Amino acid sequence: MIAVQGFEGQNVAVLGLGRSGLATCAALRAGGAIPLAWDESPEARAKAEAAGIDLHDLGRVDWSGVASLITSPGIPHLYPVPNRIIAAAYAAGVPVDNDIGLFFRSFTTEAAMAFDQPPKVVAVTGSNGKSTTTALIHHILTECGRPSQMAGNIGKGVLSIDVPQDGEVVVLELSSYQLDLARALTPDIAVFTNLSPDHLDRHNGMGGYFAAKRRLFAEGGPDRAVIGVDEVEGQYLAGQLALAPEDARVIRISSGKKLAGPGWNVFARKGFLAEYRRGKQMASIDLRAIPGLPGAHNHQNACAAYAVARSLGIAPRLIEDAFLTFKGLPHRSQLIAEAGGVRYVNDSKATNVESAAQALQAFDNIRWIAGGLGKDGGIAALHPHLGHVRKAYLIGHSARDFALQLGTTAHEICETMDQAVARSMAEAEPGDVVLLAPAAASFDQYPDFEKRGEAFTAAVHAGLTDER
């Protein structure tokens, strides 16, 4: 646990008692602070009480006796409408922060600075690929024998990690919600993967969304920045950070185009990752045969992780060896089985058209399981990416709406996951990929995308068992 520094003997309000809120209370107490904990949900309050946390109704608190309010990232603090308790704290002049801010203000201790190699923090943000990139960096470090922990929006909450040891690297996945409010941001290496529209109501538009991501770099002041430059926002960010074209503190990455110039560049084209410095090629890796990183979107993730690993002094050959043993994350282009020349891939995390498009571009001869609770616009935007789809098997609430948007693509309305898996398995031929990439939310049939992916996996394994 990271004990929170700077609040010894002071009252600190904590709003939201999910995973991060409970960890925040424990970390505050470990640092000598007095947490005043509250959650609008009776269920969450009951769970907190069972964990021995004292509750205080923050709707009635005397803010004059509170040093700070720590809020969970999922609670709106500005747009579309501030939470009433956060608004009261603002009105009283009480500083508002979150667990990410507490982590960065408490991470570096006198004991850590006495190590031969003080611990480092790598922070990863962006719209897509954050989780895979974070996990891949952690995997490379682990495979190379470097002590590492993974936390943030993946794995543990940031305050729940073990106190870092000599030479350890903490790899954090950070969302725009987490970055938007954190009062302290001091990563050693910061990564920006890409940007596409998301959470726009929370950030009052695309500009606010990008501004939240940009805080990690503009206010974080990392020693090195790894920037995806396939969108104009990334190009702008890299340009803002670099003092000159050859400034090696900025590593530009791309998937699909060669990066020229005198700086430090890592890019993937036609399945090959290349590293260039000062206009000269330093290394190359063939990504095509790496099963845990299929498709251009994963090649971008590989470029980002490679750049971080090189920044930490890891040799290209060791990075390539670690790539080969990376299994991918559950529900993200996850190969769950291969039988009779047919591959079965679980990408249940593809809950919108952007992520589904990436999955559809990663494979040939696709038998596509899609559907669920569709989002605005349905799947019309996927038309350019249906060329590899042999047939679509549609499930859930939006199955019939999706069918109307498929044009000439062969399709079948199956309603349930079990039926879709059974039909796709029955029709699949050697060389085909049965792909779950729903392009929709799961809430019509499942509590979350993880349960949907687990249902797909179970149906596939059951079908393969029956075939035997």
Annotated binding site for ATP: 126-132
Q: Which residues have C-beta within 8 Å of that of residue 142, sequence separation ≥ 6?
A: 148
Annotated binding site: 126-132
Backbone φ, ψ for residue 188 (5° rounding): -80, -40
The half-sphere exposure of 324 on its side-chain side, counting CA atoms within 13 A, is: 10
438 burial class (0-12, 13-18, 19+ CB within 10 angstroms)? buried
Q: Closest Cα to residue 313, out of 373, 221, 224, 404? A: 224
User: What Å distances lie between residue 122 and 128, 132, 141, CA to CA?
Assistant: 17, 14, 12
Q: In Å, what is the CA distance from 361 to each residue of 280, 385, 468?
A: 30, 7, 32
SS3 240: helix
CA 79 to chain centre: 22
Using CA atoms, how far residue 362 sits from 98, 191, 317, in Å, is: 37, 23, 25
CA distance 82 to 241: 32
